[in-house]
Amino acid sequence: MSVRTEDSVKIIMEIDPRTDNISTRDSMIYDSDGDTLILAQTEPPVESSMLNEEVVVTYVVKEEGNHVRYGFHAVITDFLDDFQPEPGPHGRAVSVRIRSRPEPYNMRMRYRVQPSGKSGLDVSIHRKKVNVVDISLGGIRFSYDERLQLEANRVVEVSLAIGREVHTVEARIVRIWEKEAEFFKTELKFAAAEFRNMSRRFEEELSRKIREIEREKPSIISEV
């Protein structure tokens, strides 16, 4: 890990795929032991209902004269009401268990765009085509039918046809929900997934395609 005691961190509590809201908290590292970190309780506080929930802990380091933000996934494992940091007064703290290796995390590049049918972007999950609602460098929201069985927190294989090239990437299903179709007596199924282990080639091609879609419909871009 590149994080140290007394480092400042920003906790990404949730990126809501339905409202595009980001919930973040500022904190600092009180202590670390292997894959366990003790973080200062935040304001507003991390609620006890978040126990066993996954968050992203991000921090900034200086590399070659530039400040670069990194992030890693972690699970909230405990709440400490009377923790004694060294040095410092007693205080409330949150214990988290690290779940992934740190990777560059650029929140300002997470913009969603809504591709049209003529955008040259086709997406399949487990070889079944889905309808893209919107997409960003961070992940994708889509609708799908009963042929595709999905569960929250499961990792799936996503294939993206960008032009003539097909890219395959892992994605974690963040959330699943249903919405009543306006003109049909049925429920439409939706899911949001977060890309994982992206290759540089995939990121470059997806970034290029997003810029193309931005130029097509600049008014529908939203930051997540």
Percent share of the chain, pLDDT over 70: 85
Q: What band does 221 get if pLDDT is binned at 50, 70 and 90?
A: very low
Q: What band does 199 get if pLDDT is binned at 50, 70 and 90?
A: confident
Residue 39 has pLDDT above 90, yes or no: yes
Q: Which of 14, 192, 195, 17 is nearest to 103 (CA)?
A: 195
CATH number of 111-223: 2.40.10.430
Residue 98 has pLDDT above 50, yes or no: yes
**For residues 132 and 120, what is the distance between their CA atoms, to the nearest angstrom?**
12
Ranges in the chain annotated CATH 2.40.10.430: 111-223
Ranges in the chain annotated CATH 2.30.110: 8-105
| Residues whose CB is less than 8 angstroms from the CB of residue 11 and which lie 6 or more positions away in sequence, other chains included | 24, 25, 26, 27, 39, 42, 46, 55, 56, 57, 58
Q: Which CATH class is domain 8-105?
A: mainly beta
Distance set, CA 167 to CA 93, 129, 162, 178, 222 (Å): 42, 14, 8, 28, 24
Q: What band does 181 get if pLDDT is binned at 50, 70 and 90?
A: low
Q: What is the pTM of this model?
A: 0.52
